[in-house]
Amino acid sequence: MTNLKWTGFAKKSPQERIDLIREFGLLKEESQEILQQQKKLPLETANQMAENVVSELSLPFAIAPDFLVNGKTYHLPMVTEEPSVVAAASFAAKMIKRSGGFTTTVHNRQMIGQVALFEVPNVDEATASILEKKAFLLSLANQAHPSIVKRGGGTRNLWLEPKEDFLIVYVSVDTQEAMGANMVNTMMEALVPSLEELSQGQSLMAILSNYATESLVSADCQVNISSLSRNKEEAHHLAQKLVMASRLAQVDSYRASTHNKGIFNGIDALVMATGNDWRAIEAGAHAYASRDGQYRGLSHWSYDEEAATIKGHMTLPMPIATRGGSIGLNPTVQVAHDLLGNPNAKELASLIASLGLAQNFAALKALTSTGIQAGHMKLQAKSLALLAGAKDKEVGPLVQELLKEKHMNLETSKALLQKLRQEN
C-alpha cells in the first residue's frame, strides 16, 4: 500500500476516486461493489437499529491517504460533514510522513464496569468481605458472559472505593475486539445480588463506565520545522508559537475545549466510519482531559531546537471495537474496515489517535500562521455555492466570486449564481 500516487486525488470526481482505489487494489471486490453501486444501509436494517425510524441521514465518506503509523501506510476513511477536516488531515499526514510518521503505544485494552452500593452499614467491613470473595465475584461475572472468556477475554480485576455515601465496586474486563458495553453491563448486573449480600447495602446501579482509563493509547510524531516555513528564522518563530498554542490549551479551558474539538474532528470521523460509538469515545476522552480537576488540551507539543523538530504527543482512552454494536450492519462501515486492512481493535485505536494528533497539528499550524479562516473560507464558499444550487461546473466560478465578497452568505451566493447564469 506504500508509494501509491495520490497526487490530484482531491481534484477528482467521486467516481474517478473509486476507480483509482480499484486500480490501487486497496479494496476487496465486495467493498468495491458497495462503493460502485452506492449500497447504503437498508431501511429494514436501520429500522432494527433504532426506534421510530422513518428514514436515514447520509454523510460524506472520504479518504485521507498516506498515514504512516508504526512503519505501515494506511489510508483513513473519514465520515464528516465539516469542510476542511479531511483536507487538513491529509496535509498533516504528508508532513508527518516526511519526518518519520507516527508511533503509537497501546497501554492496555480493558473496560471498567461499576456497581454503586449505598446504605452500606459498615464500609470497612463491606470492603473486606467483598475483597475476600474477589476470585468468586470475578468468576461469577464471567459466568454471565462465558463466550468472552472462550475468546480469551473476561474479568481481570476488582477494586473498591468509598465516595461520599457510596461504596463503589469497580471491575475491569478484557472485552477483546468488542467495545463491551452490553457484555460489561450484563456482568455487572450479575454481581448485584452477591454484592448486596456481602455489603449488607443496596445497589443503585450496575453499569459500564465510559471513563476507559484501562484502555489508553498514545500517539507520537515529529515534524521538521522546515515544513512550517522555508525561511529558517520564520520556521523557528512558528515552531515557538505552535508550542505556545499547545501550552495555552493546558492553562485555559476555553481554549482547551476548542483545541480538543479540533482533535475530535479527526477522531470522530474515523470512529464513525468504522461504525463505532462516538459518544462513548468523546465521553471517555473529555473526562480524561479533566483528570486533574481542570479541563485541559489532550495533546502536547514541544520544540527540540537542536534537532529542528517539533514533537507531538497525545494519550487518551480509546475503547474502540472491530466487532459488535452496529459494525456488521452497515455496508459502508465494512468498506472502511476493508480499506484499513481489517485491523484489530488495538491497531484501530492507534490509527484513530494518530489521526487526532494529525488534525491537531494542522489546526495549530494554521492558527499560529495564516489563521484558521484562510483555508476555511474557501470551503465555506463551496458549501454556500452548493446550498445556492450551483451545478458541478458552476461551483468553481461561484466560489471565486464569493471569495471576493466582504461578507458571504447564502443570499449573496444565490444572487451571484443568478448573475453568473445570466452572463453565460
* Residue ranges in 61-100 that form contacts with ligand NDP under rule CB under 6 A: none
Q: CA 394, CA 21: separation in Å to the nearest integer? A: 27
The helix/strand/coil state of 101 is: coil
Nearer to ligand NDP, 174 or 394 (CB): 174
Please report whether residue 181 would count as binding ligand NDP according to CB under 6 A. Answer: yes
The per-residue DSSP string of 354-404 comes to HHHHHHHHHHHHHHTTT-SHHHHHHHHHHHHHHHTT--HHHHHHHHHHHHH
Contacting residues for 221 by C-beta, under 8 A, at least 6 apart: 96, 99, 100, 101, 102, 103, 311, 312, 354, 357, 358, 361
Task: Indicate which single residue of 174, 277, 394, 401 sits in contact with ligand NDP (rule: CB under 6 A).
Answer: 277
> Of 31, 203, 186, 177, which Cα lies nearest the Cα of 120?
203
Is 407 tagged catalytic? no
Active-site position among 12, 232, 261, 419: 261
Partners of residue 105 on adjacent β-strands: 218
Please report whether residue 237 would count as binding ligand NDP according to CB under 6 A. Answer: no
Is 261 tagged catalytic? yes
Stretch that binds ligand NDP, among 11-19, 216-224, 317-325, 385-393 (CB under 6 A): 317-325
Task: Indicate which single residue of 113, 180, 312, 331 sits in contact with ligand NDP (rule: CB under 6 A).
Answer: 180
Q: Are 268 and 278 in contact (CB under 8 A)?
A: yes
Task: Indicate which single residue of 35, 85, 141, 148 sits in contact with ligand NDP (rule: CB under 6 A).
Answer: 148
The nearest distance, CB 68 to ligand NDP, in angstroms, is 27
> Of 239, 271, 282, which Cα lies nearest the Cα of 369?
239
Please report whether residue 103 would count as binding ligand NDP according to CB under 6 A. Answer: no
Stretch that binds ligand NDP, among 119-127, 241-249, 316-324, 352-360 (CB under 6 A): 316-324
The nearest distance, CB 242 to ligand NDP, in angstroms, is 34
Please report whether residue 323 would count as binding ligand NDP according to CB under 6 A. Answer: yes
Q: CA 151, CA 136: separation in Å to the nearest integer? A: 20
Task: Indicate which single residue of 182, 218, 250, 400 sits in contact with ligand NDP (rule: CB under 6 A).
Answer: 182
* Residue ranges in 195-214 that form contacts with ligand NDP under rule CB under 6 A: 208, 210
Nearer to ligand NDP, 127 or 210 (CB): 210
Please report whether residue 155 would count as binding ligand NDP according to CB under 6 A. Answer: no
Distances in Å between the Cα of 46 and the Cα atoms of 41, 54, 331, 418 are 7, 9, 12, 39
The nearest distance, CB 194 to ligand NDP, in angstroms, is 22
Stretch that binds ligand NDP, among 145-153, 219-227, 247-255, 353-361 (CB under 6 A): 145-153
Backbone dihedral angles phi then psi of residue 138, each to the nearest 5 degrees: -65, -40
The nearest distance, CB 283 to ligand NDP, in angstroms, is 7
> Of 284, 278, 277, 279, which Cα lies nearest the Cα of 298?
284
The nearest distance, CB 189 to ligand NDP, in angstroms, is 12
Active-site position among 19, 56, 82, 282: 82
Q: Which three cell numbers stand for residue 414?
A: 444565490
Is 277 tagged catalytic? yes
Sheet strands side by side (includes 102-106): 72-79, 61-69, 102-106, 216-224, 309-317, 299-304
Stretch that binds ligand NDP, among 65-73, 169-177, 308-316, 393-401 (CB under 6 A): 169-177
Which residue shows C-alpha cell 486497496? Answer: 26
Q: CA 138, CA 50: separation in Å to the nearest integer? A: 33
Please report whether residue 333 would count as binding ligand NDP according to CB under 6 A. Answer: no
Cα 385 versus chain centre, distance: 29
Active-site position among 277, 347, 394, 401: 277
Is 376 tagged catalytic? yes
Please report whether residue 321 would count as binding ligand NDP according to CB under 6 A. Answer: yes
Stretch that binds ligand NDP, among 79-87, 173-181, 223-231, 412-420 (CB under 6 A): 173-181
The per-residue DSSP string of 152-183 comes to T-EEEEEEEEEETTEEEEEEEEE-TTB--HHH
> Of 391, 392, 420, which Cα lies nearest the Cα of 404?
420
Stretch that binds ligand NDP, among 56-64, 131-139, 191-199, 323-331 (CB under 6 A): 323-331
Ranked by CB distance to ligand NDP, the top (closest) residue is 324
> Of 303, 289, 294, which Cα lies nearest the Cα of 228?
303
The nearest distance, CB 110 to ligand NDP, in angstroms, is 12
Residue numbers at the binding site for ligand NDP (CB under 6 A): 147-148, 151, 175-183, 208, 210, 277, 280, 321, 323-326
Where in the sequence numbering do the catalytic residues fall?
A: 82, 261, 277, 376
